[in-house]
Every structure is written in C-alpha cells, then in structure tokens.
Structure 1
Amino acid sequence: MESEVRNLVLGTGISVPCLIQGDARAQPLLLLHAWGESRRSFERMLPFLDNFRVYAPDLRGQGDADKPEDGYSLAEQAGDAAAILTVLKVRSAFVLGSSSGGYVAQQLAIMRPDLVAALVLVGSPVTLQGRAPFAAEVEALTDPVAEDWVRDSLSWFPLVQEVPTWYLQDRVSDGVSMPAHAWKRILAGFSDATPPTEAGAIQAPALILWGARDNLLPRWQQDALVERIDGAVLKVYPEAAHLVLWECPEQVAMDATEFLLSLG
C-alpha cells in the first residue's frame, strides 16, 4: 500500500511528521501513539488498515517532531491533534489512541467533538491524575537520555505475548530520541489534567479494547469509560497486558475495522 511521510507545520509553529497511507477517498483514521513512542509504534498494525485513509503523526516532543520546552498540557496535546487534522483539511475522522494516546483522543473528543466521528481506545485510561509509580525515575532523567534506562523502562509494562525484537528496539530508539524535558512534561501534562470524561461528555461512539492482564490500568477504569461514554463497547483480550497494541496489532486492527465500518 502506498504511503508517504509529510511534514506538517501547525498553527503554533511546531513541525510534526505525519505518515499518510491509503485511498484518499476512504474514511480518515487518525492514530495517536502513546507517551514515549512515535508513529512507528503502529507499523505492525498498518497493513491491516486498508479500509481507511490513515494519518499517523509523531506528537510534540516525540519521534521526529519538534521538541519545544513547553506545550505539553493535556489540552495542548489534544490541540496539536486538532491542528494536525486542520492542516490536513480533514473535517472529521475516526480516532484511535494507544495507551495515553487514548487519553489525548478523549480530550480531543471533548474539545472538538466536530472532528471526532468515533473513538477506538486501546489500553487507555479513564484517569491519569496523581503520581505515576515510575514518576521518580522520570523526574531524575537528564540529557542525553540513556538507552539502558529506556530499555529498562519497558519492564514497567510486562508483556504476556511475544513481541518481535526489532519492534522493541524501535521503541527504545523512540525513547532515546526524546529529551528529558519532553519525558517529564508530557507525563506531568497527563497527571495534572482533569480527566476528560470528568470535564465533559463524549458524544462519539467508542470501542474500548483492554488486556485483562493489564498491570497498570485496572478493570474498573475500563468499566468507568463504558459508563461515561454513552453507548461505548468494551472488548477484553484475556491474554494481553497493558500494551495491547504491541501484543495484538492484527486483532486490534480487525476489531477497530469491524466497529468503525459498522457505523456506516
């Protein structure tokens, strides 16, 4: 499938690369990656998304995007997502967010409901308020961020299913490419924010995908999302942990496709 990476300059002046794939006439699907990752985290899922016009950007401070000193509040991160769609001239899109990318997606749906046709939340939280269990390690980071530290940080999210070594190394490369201030301020932006579903009502249809062996986000968070998003559907993957996208990319793509195409 043909694809290109286009450099987008947002209204704030920051520059972000965006992978674009698929038929220009197909329904747009915006992919939002997790904290510490990049658009490349979706590589194993992309071959199974041929029903959509896919847009997968690197978000501020991560991947090959600009890494300014500020602009990392949850509202600003969602604002960047909105600006990406605006620059691409996309009036409304399906939005799939992985882990904290799903938190950004929820905030986007609150701030700009006109832009969000439906949500797919993959291992995503209902809240990130408070101090994360790994916050002290992040606060101690200095530049350059060490590869060994990034590799060790993967142990925060134990895997149930085997993930290719090359893919794990790519995620380490993502982490090394981030300056310490981006690691810290993105995490702070999540922990300081009012949870989106407490700030407003999400009107978009939503599919919630969750690994039953998630050590970070308990089942009650997923049940809360279902309760707070009218008509939301929860699907549990019994043999997956927090990083559902890493462990089950083909199944995530298939479930997302079935759900999104069912909306008409």
Structure 2
Amino acid sequence: MESQVRNLSLRTGITVPCLIQGGAEAKPLLLLHAWGESRRCFDRLLPGLAGFRTYAPDLRGQGEADKPEDGYSLAEQAEDAAAILDAVGVDAAFVLGSSSGGYVGQQLAAAHPGRVAGLVLVGSPLSLQGRPAFADEVDQLTDPIDEDWVRGSLSWFTMHQPVPAWYLEDRVRDGVRMPAHAWKKILAGLTSAAPPTEAGAVRAPTLIIYGGRDDLLPLQDQEVLAARIPGAVLKVYPDAGHLVLWEHPDRVAADATAFLRALG
C-alpha cells in the first residue's frame, strides 16, 4: 500500500507532518487524534482503512508538529484541520476523530460544512466545558515533561480490553514530546469553547461510536449528541471504556468503513 509522510506548510502558519496512505483515487479520510497523542495512535486502525486515502497528521503542539505559543482555541484547531485539507488538495473528506479529535471534527463540520462528507466520532464528547478532574495536574506541568507523569496519566481512563504494551509506550512517548504550554493551552482551548453543536450545526452524516463503560462521557450526553446531528447513528460497544480506539481498533475500522462506504 502506498504510504508516505509529508511535511505540510499550512496557511495557518505552522508545519505539520502528515502520514498519507492509500491510492490517490480512493475516497479521502482525515484522521484527527486526541489531545496528548499523535498520528501514531492510528497505527492499529490504519490496516482496516485500506479502502481509503487516509491523511493522519500530527496536530499543532503535538507529535512532530510545530509547537508555537498560541493557536490552540477550538476554532483555531479546526482551522488547522481545514488547512491540512487545503495543503493536500482535498476539497471535502470523510473525517474520523478520536476523543477530543472528534470534538475538533465537530467544530470543522460546523464551521466548514462543505469540507466534511461524513463524520465518525470515536469516544467524542458532546461538551468539554468545565474543568476536568485532572486539570490541576496539567496546570502544574513544567518542561521537560516528566515521563512518569505521562505514564500515570494513562490511568485517567480505565481500559477494559487488552492493549499492546508497545502501543502504550508509544503514547507515553507522545506525551513526553509535548511541551508544557501545549498540554495546558490545548486543554484550555477545548474546555473554554462553546460545544460545536451549540455554537453551530453539524449536518454531515455521522456515526458516533461510544464505549459503554466510559468513565468520562455519560451515555446520556452521547444520546443528546446524536439527537443534535440529523440522522446520526449511535453505536455502543458495551465492553469498552473511553479509549475506544485503543481497545477496539479493528472493530472501529470495520464499523467506520461500512458506514462511510454506504455514503458513496
């Protein structure tokens, strides 16, 4: 399968690496990773997305992307996503977002409805307004980021299915690579923004995948999210927690593929 990593210079003023995989003639699919991760969080998902032309970037402040001091509001994060589509010459794409990456995907769909042909939200919130329990820990971060702290942060979300040790270690490396200001400002941008489905309208055909044992996002919120997006489909994985992508990559890939292919 054709695969390459390209450094994209975005109109928003930053440079991000983007893994591009699949044939040029296939339907484009943009993958948006969660806060504190990188494009490599999709390593176990990508084999199941072989029918698409996938674009998996490192987002601002994370992975190997530029890490400027500003540009981390939810609206700016969504503008980066739109700029990534511009940089790869894609007018409209399917979008799959994991956790807060799905929140950015919602904002992208609300702000630029013509750019999102279909949306898959994997453990994605209805709202992030407020102050999560772990915000105090994040506020105290200083550079360089302590590896033990990152390792401990993985316990914020209970996992109910086995996840390979190498994959967890890779997520620790993602966290250590981020500077303290990125940890803080990305979280602040997410939690201070109006929820996308309140600030605007998400009209893209949407599949919502939710872990039934999620200890962060309540099922009721997912039902409200589905009700706010016309025709949205809510699929619950009863044996998964918040980290659905980590626990069930094969199942997520299969369900996302079936949903998006049905859109044509």
1:93 and 2:93 are equivalent in the alignment: yes
**1:157 alignment counterpart:** 157
- What are the residue-to-residue correspondences of 1:1-264 with 2, within 5 Å? 1-264=1-264
Contact 2:25 2:53 in 1 (8 A): yes
Aligned residue identity for 1:124: S
Cα distance in 1 between the residues matched to 2:200 and 2:77: 17
Gaps in structure 1 of 5+ consecutive residues: none
Q: Which amino acid aligns with 2:136?
A: A
SS at match of 2:29: strand
SS at match of 1:20: strand
Secondary structure of 2:56's aligned partner: strand
CA positional deviation for 1:2: 2.2
The one-letter amino acid of 2:107's match is: Q
- The C-alpha deviation readout for 1:198-225, integer Å capped at 9, x for no partner, is 0111110000000000000010111011
TM-score (norm 1): 0.99
TM-superposed CA distance for 1:13, in Å, is: 2.1
Q: Within 2, Cα distance between the matches of 1:146 and 1:182?
A: 14
Task: Name the aligned partner's letter for residue 85 of structure 2.
Answer: L
The residue type equivalent to 2:41 in the other structure is S
Task: Give the unaligned 5+ runs of structure 2.
Answer: none
Q: CA RMSD in A?
A: 0.5
* Distance in structure 1 (CA, Å) of the matches to 2:99 and 2:11: 26
- Find the aligned partners of 2:163 and 2:58 in 1 and give their Cα distance: 22
Deviation at 1:140, TM superposition (A): 0.3
Please report how far the alpha carbon of residue 51 of structure 1 lies from its aligned counterpart in structure 2 after TM superposition: 0.8
**1:194 Cα shift?**
0.3
2:162 aligns to what SS in structure 1?
coil
Structure 2 distance, partners of 1:249, 1:221, is: 23
AA of the residue aligned to 2:66? D
User: Is the Cα–Cα contact under 8 Å of residues 12 and 79 in structure 2 kept in the other structure?
Assistant: no
- 2:78, 2:107 within 8 Å by CA — same for their partners in 1? yes
CA displacement at 1:95 relative to structure 2: 0.2
**AA at the equivalent of 1:258:** A
> Aligned-pair distance for 1:165?
0.1
Tell me how far apart the structure 2 counterparts of residues 141 and 200 of structure 1 sit (CA, whole Å).
Answer: 33
Deviations 1:54-84 (A, max 9, x none): 0000000000000000000000000000000
